[in-house]
Chains A and B, each alone.
Chain A
Amino acid sequence: MTHPGETCIVVGASSGIGAALARRLAADGCKVALLARRRERIEQLARDIDARAGRRLAMPLVHDVADTSSVDTAFDAVEAELGDVTAVYYVAGVMPEVGADEFDTAKDVQQFQTNTLGSIAWCNAAARRFLPRRRGFIVGISSVAGDRGRAKRPGYCASKAGQDVHLESLRNRLWDKGIHVTTIRPGFVDTEMTAGLGLKGAISAEQAADAIVRAARKNKGVVYVPFKWRIIMGVVKSMPSFLFKRLAFLQ
């Protein structure tokens, strides 16, 4: 998995886990396509990756995951420049602030577009290309938030749950066709998206990226990052609803 010389797409590479993942893959010698909306960010990151490698490994490409109709065009553009893609990492995600009494459909739609539909579109596009080659890796960055419906962020939890279930379906569909699908459920990770949330014990984006690459290399199915979240979420998931809804610190 992602040995030097392999070609990866990181969707949502402009910051946080996506940027760290792109650097981590390039450090192993992989060619990396950096996809995100913010042109300046991905161009700066591409220059940094190339400068660190001493050769051209990064390809920045402006892309909005909400525009699912443009996924195939973007995929083709990457393959035309870098060659056959062997791995797709879907990292793009949004988590807008939601007030206690706010029920904003537009915000929820935005989260579903980015977190769920974007992921589905990219995974489908990857599966279509990987199937005839009988080889490929799809890694989706979901969240522990998808494990339970928390009061604070209904739209985010639901969108991540949707992404998570789609990844599981794909895994069950493709496992015997040479295509590995890995679901990553990060716990607290210190990124621009989570800045201001006061997350205690958060790991860095670089630590998360390292764990993600290691998990994907081992063809894991579902991985909590860091591992302690498997235990935490095991307890949380087994909690009956009447109790869970009353525990404010979990919401």
Chain B
Amino acid sequence: MMLAWQRERVSGWGMAVGGDAEVVRPTSADEVAACLQVADRSGKGLGLRGSGCSYGDASMNTGGRVLDFSRMNRILDFDTDRGVARVEPGVTIRDLWRRSIVDGYWPAVVPGTMAVSMGGAASMNIHGKNNFVAGTFGEHIRTFTLLTPQGERLQCSPTENADVYHAAIGGFGMLGCFVELTVELKRVHSGRLRVTAVATRDLDENLEVLDAHRPHADYLVGWIDVHGKGKGLGRGLIHRADQLAAGEDPEGERMLRPELQDVPGRLFGLVPKGWIWPGMWCTVKAGGIPWINWAKFRAGLKEATRAPYLQSHGAFHFLLDYVPRWHWAFRPGGLIQFQPFVPAKEASRVFRALFEMCHKARLVPYLGVLKRHKPDPFLMTHAVDGFSMAMDFAVSDGRRERLWRHTQAMAEVVLAAGGRFYYAKDATLLDTSFARIHGDDAVRRFRELKARLDPQNLLQTDLARRLGVI
């Protein structure tokens, strides 16, 4: 059956950037190959899209064509002895853990939402709250099949076509289409984690606490009150979570049931969570964000006095799924995220400078999230031996241009300190940033691979054009 290209608006998850494109949703590798041929002839360029969870323009191809993998979503095999899944690219993190948890496996790396697809996770080489110990998603991909724009199916692993393996993972969809991936999961003995909260008074204490817990923790994440000023600049609440050993949790086995991992659908057991976003919208419009941050910080002080408690994997990891469509609270302008990765020795100075720039410009993010990272072996890596600070900004027509200039000025501070950026979150970096992030040698090698696998530059996205990659 001939697939129909449908003209539709394709937006980043943050809704701040978007544009029309012709979209098609193949269901098999053969259909993907057919789409590549048609797209090749049309000459409009083709962007690759998974679940569309990238905040910015990473899966957009405005004016061109987009290959959406959401219907190529079959789990092909799950080896319950080894915890290895063979999947199609449209399978989501949710699909994967729902399958694996009953057999005592959990995806080795998960982001803040379970909607992310396997193909998208590989293309952007996503990370989770355990990046400092487990590395990125790509480090748990054993093999994958990459369908190149020339119709070649490359089998890739750390030892086979290793150059393509290390460049396509994190290669933001520039080298080919993932049509099958083999992913390794990790063993868990309980459906719950032991969570410990630590309140912090300022930015430096956050960094110190993360580094102090790093040698023994399984997961670490910090919420930062970006509205705190003066002595309270960068204050927040750190959550550490640890896996439980076999027999440590008497309810552990029962909690491996998938229905006990899903985030609850109702607030206080009554209000459907799908109804919450209009209330959040009103809060945003009424300027209530600083008060929400203040209240969360106060609540965090109380939470930190509690003894460690048990929480399901789903509830700990998927904070972005707690309130369905919460990003609609930022309609109509949407939101962008600015997430710099800064080497450890520069982190305190750089983050402090960024916060001060935000307060001075009166462009303060509504949310800040701090994580610890370690380097990974991929060519287009965003990771450093240091910290990342994700900052979410609401976008409105009145301040859009100013916000873009503001984040570009902040990016300059980060790049001067040897920092990097994560393209799943980016919407504003300039083309001059690309080589500074990765270094001339990595950029040259990436471009050589692009020329070899996609000589006609068929694979394009708004992100790649903005960064001057093609």
Binding site for B on A (CB under 8 A): 15, 27, 41, 44-45, 47-48, 51-52, 54, 192, 195-198
| Chain B count of residues within 8 A CB distance of the other chain | 23
Chain A residues with CB under 8 Å of B27's CB are 15, 41, 192
List of B residues within 8 angstroms of A45 by Cβ: 74
A-contacting 9-mer, from B40-48, B75-83, B200-208, B213-221 = B75-83
A195-B3 in contact (CB<8A): yes
What are the nearest 4 A-B pairs in CB distance? A196-B4, A48-B74, A195-B4, A51-B75
> Bound state CA distance, A41 and B77, in angstroms?
16
15 pairs from A and B in contact (CB 8 Å cutoff): A44-B74, A51-B75, A51-B77, A52-B75, A52-B78, A52-B95, A54-B102, A192-B1, A192-B3, A192-B27, A195-B25, A196-B4, A196-B5, A197-B6, A198-B7
Indicate if the CB atoms of A48 and B76 lie closer than 8 Å. yes
Hey, which chain B residues are within 8 Å of A51, CB to CB? 74-78, 99
Q: How far is the CA of A44 from the CA of B71 in the complex (A)?
A: 13
Bound complex: CA A54 to CA B102 (Å): 9
Q: Does B103 contact A (CB under 8 A)?
A: yes
CA distance A48 to B3 in the complex (A): 22
Tell me which residues from 27 to 76 in chain B have a Cβ below 8 Å from any Cβ of chain A. Answer: 27-28, 71, 74-76
B80 touches A54 (CB 8 A): yes
Known: A54-B102, A54-B103. A195 touches B76 (CB 8 A): no
Please name 4 further chain A to chain B contacts, defined as beta carbons within 8 Å, in addition to the given A41-B27, A48-B76, sorted by A numbering.
A52-B95, A195-B4, A197-B6, A198-B7
Q: In the complex, what distance in Å separates the CA atom of A196 from the CA atom of B24?
A: 9
Give B24's nearest chain A residue, CB to CB: A195
User: Nearest B residue to A28 by beta-carbon distance?
Assistant: B259
Is there a chain A Cβ closer than 8 Å to B98's Cβ? yes
| Chain B neighbourhood of A54, CB < 8 A | 78, 80, 99, 102-103
Contact indicator per residue, chain B 280-308, by CB within 8 Å of chain A (1) or not (0): 00000000000000000000000000000
Residues of A within 8 A of B6 (CB): 195-198
The answer for the CA separation of A27 and B76 in the assembled complex, in Å, is 16
User: In the complex, what's the smallest C-beta–C-beta distance from A40 to chain B, in angstroms?
Assistant: 8
Which residues in A have their C-beta under 8 angstroms from that of B77?
51
Shortest A235–chain B CB gap in Å is 24
Min Cβ gap B229→A in Å is 43
Q: Which residues of A contact B74 (CB under 8 A)?
A: 44-45, 47-48, 51
Q: Is the CB of A198 within 8 A of B8?
A: yes
- Per the bound structure, the CA–CA distance linking A48 and B74 in Å amounts to 5
Q: What are the residues of chain B within 8 A of A198 when measuring CB–CB?
A: 6-8
B4 partner residues in chain A, CB cutoff 8 A: 195-196
B249 → A minimal CB distance (Å): 22
A48 with B75, Cβ < 8 A, contacts A195-B4, A196-B6 known: yes
Q: Chain B: which residue is nearest A196 at the CB level? A: B4
Closest to A190 in B: B25
